[in-house]
Amino acid sequence: MKKAEHSSLSKKFLEVEKKLTKGLIRWKLKRDGLQPSDKETLNKTSENIVNEAHRIIKRRGKSAFEQLKQAKQEFLKAYRDKDNK
């Protein structure tokens, strides 16, 4: 996949995430009997939620990857120690 295609696809996914988030916000407001937000507030809020979700996933994803690498090292060490006995 070319970089331009990847970028375009990423933008499309981001827009879908924002639309889904807007729908969830509208649903929650309606369910709670609150007045719907104006478009500008809804757009900003949904964008902030999507950005925060991406930030959390990125941070936790690195942590999970580091834990997997550590588990691999511990497994290999135990396996090698077992073979040396």
Query: Which 8-state DSSP code applies to residue 10?
Result: H
38 vs 78, which has greater pLDDT?
Answer: 38
9 Cβ neighbours under 8 A, 6+ residues apart = 1
Crossing angle between the packed helical segments 39-84 and 3-31, to the nearest 10 degrees: 120
Confidence at residue 75, expressed as pLDDT on a 0 to 100 scale: 82
Task: Indicate whether 47 pLDDT > 80.
Answer: yes
Q: How confident is residue 31, by pLDDT bands cut at 50, 70 and 90?
A: very high
Task: Indicate whether 66 pLDDT > 90.
Answer: no
Element (H, E) at 6: helix 3-31
Task: Give dist(CA 70, CA 72) in Å, integer.
Answer: 5
Q: Which domain holds residue 25?
A: 3-84
Number of domains comprising the chain: 1
The answer to whether 10 touches 18, Cβ cutoff 8 Å, is no
Task: Indicate whether 20 pLDDT > 60.
Answer: yes
Mean of pLDDT values over 34-42: 91
